[in-house]
């Protein structure tokens, strides 16, 4: 047990690089290979697919990847653990067994079930007063079903909706024999799992200082060398693209989190105890992580069918951009008046034009109109056709980015919570035996949320952006700070870290909620929670409701909030010269 367990990742989402599975198996030694295929939006997509075909509901890409690489994994003794089972882990396990038989490979396939609460949704109070019964209702299971599958001899473990980090925690707990109350070890593995779960984001993908990363090759996928105490070293295969540095790991640690208490079904990891240290080229140690018992309730991912949506985008060119946008809005609003108007109409002007533009692109801005309504007809041809009818009667230079269309259904994501005792957790071993996992005995309620500043109605942005004293210079915030942002349902998080201790000393006092409102005016009107993570030299903001009712329903131009951090970094603020 003195040797670390090497756990790699080959997928951060459904649609990630297809060849990553084989790349990771061929690139160097591994003990376990994981693949994360699920997100709230993915569950919605799989749920809609299951409406058409009850035998669907899993990530079909994974089957094709295994057709190419299952033999290699077995040959090299690498266990596969994945949540590609989605809404139908049993169905995927059956497909994999059929595949192995066809390929002549002896392999034990096990799966984990119990997360699907849809048959009991009404009894559990999960119906929505606006949208009715959910399309999907899945509890976030933990690691112990995976542990039982591996202890039962499985070579491949398929799960449904487990937490992303559980794909790493399960193999580590099985290998090292951790107990369910080994809080610090479980928390350490949870943090490692959080770093691995989004694939190449830990090796330089989507990195704020991307120009510092050698990027001739696409970034490789990360792996964690996990030790018996739960500490880990994040690294990658030698020769793979990208880089693993303290900052690439920090960026991923800040991705899609809320407060320092990172709750899961097995342990609550305390992110303010995480310590990150560079240990040489492409080697970053994570240590010191402390854990406490999990909450008494389990989080549930609910998706409801919310209605239908559509959008049309106008191309505005040359002079009088704002006047042209105003004319387009007025004409469309008039055409959609009365009963024909969709329930929600949102306009977004995107980009600016340059003075004396040398190319047509420099002379162009975009005006986007997004509409939502329960009635498919209102947002279908009735909407897009009315827009196109303005082609010869609108502003000069009228053109659009796409032809009229019918629109598409959208889903509404909401989290819910049920008592742990209400959730089944079943490991179906490769032998066919079923092992029922008991809920955690020890639990601890989460601490109260950090003080939230609510609904900013503030003065001029320049006043809020100003530094302290004359010895400062107007520079983009991104010169001294990195950021990564993302979505958690309808909320957005923006994690910001400083590169040096001096910069951190300035940042923690400078970047308040009030100043965030000033720098990102679109966050005004939303409650914001701010958390400090001093070990990471970082602050994290959670903007509640900015993304409306979740990714599929959001009418924002950036519905997942992925670019909020880069917008913040681009804002000019007064940075003291000594910090620069």
Residue 407's CATH number: 3.30.70
pLDDT for 457 beyond 60: no
Mean pLDDT, range 476-488, rounded to an integer: 97
Note down the domain range covering 520: 452-576
Please tell me the predicted confidence (pLDDT) of residue 216: 80
Rg of the chain in Å (alpha carbons): 25
Q: What is the count of structural domains for the chain?
A: 3
CA distance 322 to 481: 33
Mean pLDDT, range 96-105, rounded to an integer: 98
| Same domain (yes/no): 166, 236 | yes
Please tell me the predicted confidence (pLDDT) of residue 502: 97
> Could you give the maximum distance between any two Cα atoms of the chain, in Å?
75
CA distance 138 to 121: 10
Between the alpha carbon of residue 130 and those of residues 324, 509, 569, the distances in Å are: 37, 42, 38
pLDDT for 449 beyond 80: no
Q: Could you give the 3-state DSSP secondary structure of residue 516?
A: helix
Q: For residue 160, name the pLDDT band (cuts at 50, 70, 90).
A: very high
Question: CA nearest 143: which of 159, 127, 129, 154?
Answer: 159
Residue 443 lies in a domain: no
Question: CA nearest 364: which of 313, 321, 401?
Answer: 321
Residue 442 lies in a domain: no
Residue 99 lies in a domain: yes
| Same domain (yes/no): 480, 398 | no
Give the 3-state DSSP-derived string for 32-81, with helices as H, strands as E and coil as C. Answer: EEEECCCCHHHHHHHHHHHHHCCCCCCCHHHHHHHHHHHHHHHHCCCEEE
Each residue's pLDDT tens digit, 226-280: 999 999 999 999 999 999 999 999 999 999 999 999 999 999 999 999 999 999 9
pLDDT for 129 beyond 50: yes
Top pLDDT among 43 and 467 is at 43
Residue 444 lies in a domain: no
Mean pLDDT, range 383-391, rounded to an integer: 95
pLDDT for 456 beyond 70: no
Q: Which residues pair with 315 in a beta bridge?
A: 366, 399
Please tell me the predicted confidence (pLDDT) of residue 463: 42
Mean pLDDT, range 507-533, rounded to an integer: 97
* Residues present in the chain in total: 580
- DSSP label of 378: H
Residue 369 lies in a domain: yes
Cβ atoms within 10 Å of 145's Cβ, excluding its own: 29
| Same domain (yes/no): 173, 62 | yes
Mean pLDDT, range 546-553, rounded to an integer: 94
Each residue's pLDDT tens digit, 305-360: 999 999 999 999 999 999 999 999 999 999 998 888 999 999 999 999 999 999 99
Mean pLDDT, range 395-403, rounded to an integer: 95
pLDDT for 459 beyond 50: no
Instruction: Round to the nearest angstrom and report the end-to-end CA distance of the chain.
Output: 46
CA distance 110 to 108: 7
| Range from 134-138, 286-290, 468-472 carrying the lowest mean pLDDT | 468-472
Between the alpha carbon of residue 296 and those of residues 126, 409, 441, 546, the distances in Å are: 18, 35, 9, 28
CA distance 369 to 384: 10
Mean pLDDT, range 162-184, rounded to an integer: 98
CA distance 541 to 485: 9
Residue 169 lies in a domain: yes
Question: CA nearest 109: which of 57, 56, 70?
Answer: 70
| Same domain (yes/no): 331, 462 | no
pLDDT for 506 beyond 80: yes
How much of the chain exceeds pLDDT 90, in percent? 92
Please tell me the predicted confidence (pLDDT) of residue 468: 43
Each residue's pLDDT tens digit, 352-381: 999 999 999 999 999 999 999 999 999 999
Q: Could you give the 3-state DSSP secondary structure of residue 154?
A: coil
Mean pLDDT, range 507-517, rounded to an integer: 97
pLDDT for 452 beyond 90: no
| Same domain (yes/no): 173, 310 | no
Structure tokens at 54: 């009850």
Q: In what order do the strands lie in the sheet with 79-82?
A: 275-278, 284-287, 232-236, 222-226, 5-9, 32-35, 79-82, 156-158, 109-113, 426-428, 434-436
| Same domain (yes/no): 464, 325 | no
Strand 109-113 and strand 426-428: pairing? Answer: antiparallel
| Same domain (yes/no): 207, 235 | yes
Please tell me the predicted confidence (pLDDT) of residue 337: 86
Mean pLDDT, range 132-150, rounded to an integer: 98
| Same domain (yes/no): 84, 225 | yes
pLDDT for 460 beyond 60: no
Residue 506 lies in a domain: yes
Residue 441 lies in a domain: no
Q: For residue 453, name the pLDDT band (cuts at 50, 70, 90).
A: confident
| Same domain (yes/no): 267, 397 | no
| Same domain (yes/no): 351, 476 | no
Mean pLDDT taken over the chain: 95
CA distance 352 to 361: 10
0.85 cut: is pTM over it?
A: yes
| Same domain (yes/no): 330, 464 | no
Mean pLDDT, range 387-411, rounded to an integer: 95
| Same domain (yes/no): 335, 230 | no
């Amino acid at each position: 047990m003195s040797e670390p367990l090497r756990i790699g990742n080959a997928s951060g989402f459904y649609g990630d690089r297809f060849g990553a599975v084989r790349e990771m198996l061929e690139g160097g030694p591994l003990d376990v290979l994981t693949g994360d295929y699920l997100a709230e939006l993915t569950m919605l997509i799989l749920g809609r697919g299951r409406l058409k075909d009850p035998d669907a509901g899993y990530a079909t890409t994974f089957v094709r990847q295994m057709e190419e690489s299952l033999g290699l994994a077995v040959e090299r003794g690498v266990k596969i653990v994945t949540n590609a089972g989605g809404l139908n882990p049993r169905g995927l396990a059956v497909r994999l067994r059929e595949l192995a038989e066809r390929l002549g490979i002896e392999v034990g396939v096990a799966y984990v079930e119990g997360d699907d609460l849809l048959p009991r949704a009404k009894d559990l109070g999960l119906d929505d007063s606006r949208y009715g019964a959910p399309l999907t209702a899945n509890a976030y299971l933990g690691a112990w079903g995976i542990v039982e599958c591996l202890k039962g001899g499985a070579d491949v473990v398929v799960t449904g909706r487990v937490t992303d980090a559980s794909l790493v925690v399960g193999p580590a707990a099985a290998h090292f024999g951790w107990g369910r109350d080994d809080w610090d070890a479980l928390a350490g593995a949870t943090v490692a799992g959080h770093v691995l779960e989004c694939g190449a984001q830990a090796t330089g993908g989507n990195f704020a200082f991307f120009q510092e990363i050698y990027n001739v090759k696409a970034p490789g996928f990360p792996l964690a060398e996990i030790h018996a105490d739960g500490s880990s070293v994040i690294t990658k295969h030698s020769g793979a693209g990208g880089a693993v540095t303290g900052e690439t790991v920090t960026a991923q640690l800040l991705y899609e989190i809320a407060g320092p208490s990172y709750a899961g079904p097995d342990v609550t990891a305390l992110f303010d105890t995480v310590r990150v240290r560079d240990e040489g080229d492409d080697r970053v140690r994570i240590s010191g992580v402390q854990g406490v018992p999990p909450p008494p309730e389990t989080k549930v991912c609910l998706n409801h069918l919310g209605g239908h949506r559509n959008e049309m985008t106008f191309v505005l060119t040359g002079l009088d951009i704002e006047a042209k946008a105003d004319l387009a809005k007025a004409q469309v609003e008039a055409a959609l008046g009365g009963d024909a108007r969709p329930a929600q109409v949102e306009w977004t002007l995107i980009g600016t034009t340059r003075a004396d533009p040398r190319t047509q692109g420099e002379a162009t801005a975009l005006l986007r109109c997004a509409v939502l309504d329960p009635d498919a007809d209102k947002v279908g041809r009735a909407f897009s056709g009315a827009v196109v009818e303005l082609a010869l009667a609108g502003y000069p230079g009228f053109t659009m980015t796409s032809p009229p269309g019918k629109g598409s259904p959208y889903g509404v994501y909401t989290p819910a919570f049920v008592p742990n005792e209400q959730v089944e957790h079943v490991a179906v071993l490769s032998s066919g035996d079923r092992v029922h996992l008991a809920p955690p005995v020890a639990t601890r309620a989460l601490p109260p949320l950090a003080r939230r500043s609510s609904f900013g109605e503030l003065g001029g942005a320049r006043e809020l952006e100003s530094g302290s004293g004359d010895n400062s210079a107007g520079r983009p915030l991104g010169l001294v700070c990195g950021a990564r942002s993302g979505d958690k349902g309808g909320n957005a998080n923006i994690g910001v870290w400083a590169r040096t201790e001096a910069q951190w000393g300035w940042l923690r006092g400078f970047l308040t909620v009030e100043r965030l409102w000033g720098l990102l005016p679109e966050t005004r009107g939303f409650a914001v929670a701010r958390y400090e993570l001093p070990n990471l030299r970082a602050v994290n903001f959670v903007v509640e409701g900015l993304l409306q009712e979740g990714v599929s329903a959001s009418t924002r131009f950036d519905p997942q909030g992925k670019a909020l951090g880069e917008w913040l970094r681009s804002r000019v603020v007064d940075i003291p010269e000594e910090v620069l």
